[in-house]
Amino acid sequence: MQKNTVKKRNFKFNITMKKGISILGLGWLGLPLALQLQKSGYTVNGSTSSLDRLTSLAKYSFHNCRIKIEADTIIGDWESFIHDTSILIINFPPKRIDSIETIHPLQIKQIIKHTPKTTKVIFVSSTSVYQNTNSLVNETINCIPEKASGIALIEAEQLLQQHFGNNLTVLRLAGLIGPKRHPGRFLANKKQLKNPNVPVNLIHQKDVIRLIATIINKDCFGEIINGCADIHPKRKDFYENAAIKLNMPAPVFETNSKESYKIVDNSKSKSILNFTYQFSNPEWIFTKDYLPEIAIVGCGPGNKNLLTLKAFHAIENADIILHDNLISDEILAINTQAEHIYVGRKYGDKEDQETRQNNINSLMKKHCELGNKVVRVKSGDPYIYGRAAEEVRFLKQHNLPFTVVPGISAALAAASSVNIPITERRQSNAILICTAHTADYSTAQLKGIAEMLNAGNTLALYMGLKSMDKIVPKLMEVCKNPDIPINAVSNVSRENEVLLSSTLGTIENDIKKQELQMPVVFLIGVKPIN
């Protein structure tokens, strides 16, 4: 049981000196929080209890380490973790295990034992500490938790308050929603749900991050603050909407059970922090105006160092990455925490292209509507034989937010990599980009291409390795010049890049001898600089 009193305090807005912040727990909430605080200029130090997770966190520029809190010890270098720390954020929820109401307070005691009282602390707690009163609950009421996790948290709060006093702020959060926590997931394997007519208490991840940042910026310590959206929709309505978005059967609710609920009051957070909830109505997660932007990203020829910064950041922050076999392993390794979904596209796989594209479109729509950051990665530039046009038309048709990130196309990367001047003063004034994938050019088209070559211009030919036996005779028939130079560049920019320089008259035999690996781009009509 706990009686909480509201204290009148003066808060000062801190804009001059950025503090060192340590975050215990870089999980679903902790990692995006760390990235946002670092972006705001704070020095961030993070931790995880998992060695595998620690490896994946190494790509971020802030320091992170392994810290595991046990009931009787701390595994890891806690002193280094909190060294030069002005603010410690404890984002360490109780596990769903037996006796957690006993174990979790012991873990908190380990933190207290090794942390100075002068450290300012934000403890991420939960509104599960409040009992169901069928009425409004705020920070001043006596807390009588009904579940083991709530019992563990209220005792943890009390222990921390005894040690840190006015240097502690407790942030009690309602149910968390956001990327990878779409409310529809709650419906999985649920046959019947209770309490159809009760209000739900929820808060979006973005609002949690903004709340914590505001507490830090306003130096608001010595408080207990609820974090919850303004609106409390009816449970039945909310989860039926979630089921619609997931194309799941509508949930079935029990109607004969006694309904029990609480309504979490967030007025203190708004008054004391002058805070406005971005997702004041949690049902906005279902509307297109609040969906995350889908990124169609050009990844260049394969070397991650040739990515644009925008492309790199999009991949780094993705929840879902849709990729094909043309995307290099080193680019996919930028983000190993995201879900990687292979969507095909391999020469000779005989998969129906329309079916494959429809599947890609459906995946983008589905995961975006679940609140995930979807990144569709494409080799080269999305609008140069990347089929971005089909995907963009689909996204526009369904009014889904998107951005297209340019990439270095293979022909341009190849020219720079092997020093082939595809345009040069007094040599070549133009370059024609075309595909040999179908090899069904009309006579008029081939005549136009050949005339460009004869005029001294450059031809960049994509997807032509398996079509040389069709393309070369047609070009020779029109150009009548077997000495026109042709360069085949395999695996542009990668460690196994290969350049084969030849002529129209000899290229077919030279390819048979070299056994080039796909992908290959051809630059015709110009020679490398020797």
Domain ranges of the chain: 20-177+202-230+263-282, 291-408, 411-524
Q: In this model, does residue 528 exceed pLDDT 90? A: yes
**291-408 to CATH, choices 3.40.50.80, 2.170.150.70, 3.10.580.10, 3.40.1010.10:** 3.40.1010.10
Q: How far apart, in Å, do the first and last CA atoms of the chain sit? A: 82
- Give the mean pLDDT of the chain: 90
Q: Are the beta carbons of 458 and 423 closer than 8 angstroms?
A: yes
Q: Are the beta carbons of 187 and 239 closer than 8 angstroms?
A: yes
Which H or E run includes 365?
helix 353-369
**pLDDT score, position 446:** 74
> What is the Cα–Cα distance from 293 to 419, expressed in whole angstroms?
38
Span 240-267, pLDDT tens digits = 888 877 777 788 888 777 888 999 999 9
**pLDDT score, position 80:** 96
Provide CB contacts within 8 A for 407, sequence distance 6+: 297, 298, 299, 300, 307, 308, 311, 378, 379, 380, 381, 382
Label residue 219 by pLDDT band (50, 70, 90). very high
**pLDDT score, position 9:** 45
Q: What does residue 124 show for φ and ψ, rounded to 5 degrees?
A: -85, 105
Label residue 91 by pLDDT band (50, 70, 90). very high
- The residue among 239 and 119 whose pLDDT is bigger is 119
Least confident of 89-98, 100-109, 166-175, 435-444: 435-444
Label residue 5 by pLDDT band (50, 70, 90). very low
- Pairing mode, if any, of strands 74-75 and 68-69? antiparallel
**Maximal CA-CA distance, the chain:** 94
**pLDDT score, position 15:** 42
> What is the Cα–Cα distance from 228 to 186, expressed in whole angstroms?
18
Q: Are the beta carbons of 285 and 183 closer than 8 angstroms?
A: yes
Task: Return the CATH superfamily for domain 20-177+202-230+263-282.
Answer: NAD(P)-binding Rossmann-like Domain (3.40.50.720)
Label residue 184 by pLDDT band (50, 70, 90). low
> What is the Cα–Cα distance from 369 to 247, expressed in whole angstroms?
11
Span 274-290, pLDDT tens digits = 999 999 999 888 887 78
Count CA atoms closer than 13 A to 415's CA, side-chain side.
17
**Average of pLDDT values for 110-126?**
98
Task: Return the CATH superfamily for domain 411-524.
Answer: Tetrapyrrole methylase, C-terminal domain (3.30.950.10)
**pLDDT score, position 13:** 44
Collapsed DSSP state (helix, strand, coil) of residue 403: strand
Highest mean pLDDT among 3-17, 369-383, 457-471 belongs to 369-383
Label residue 10 by pLDDT band (50, 70, 90). very low
Label residue 176 by pLDDT band (50, 70, 90). very high
**Average of pLDDT values for 42-64?**
91
**Average of pLDDT values for 331-354?**
82
What is the spatial order of strands in the sheet that 431-435 belongs to? 431-435, 458-462, 520-524, 485-490, 498-503
Span 29-40, pLDDT tens digits = 999 999 999 999
Which H or E run includes 268?
helix 267-273
Lookup result for tokens 């790509």: 59
Provide CB contacts within 8 A for 179, sequence distance 6+: 205, 292, 319, 371, 372, 373
Q: In this model, does residue 347 exceed pLDDT 80? A: no
Q: What does residue 38 show for φ and ψ, rounded to 5 degrees?
A: -65, -40
- The residue among 347 and 506 whose pLDDT is bigger is 506
Label residue 124 by pLDDT band (50, 70, 90). very high
Least confident of 123-137, 170-184, 336-350: 336-350
Give the global pTM: 0.77
User: Angle 252-258-259 (CA atoms, 0-180°, nearest 5)?
Assistant: 70
- In this structure, the dihedral spanned by the alpha carbons of residues 265, 271, 277 and 281, taken in order and rounded to 10 degrees, is 40
Structure tokens at 379: 């080799």
Span 429-476, pLDDT tens digits = 899 998 876 556 666 777 788 888 888 889 999 988 888 888 888 888
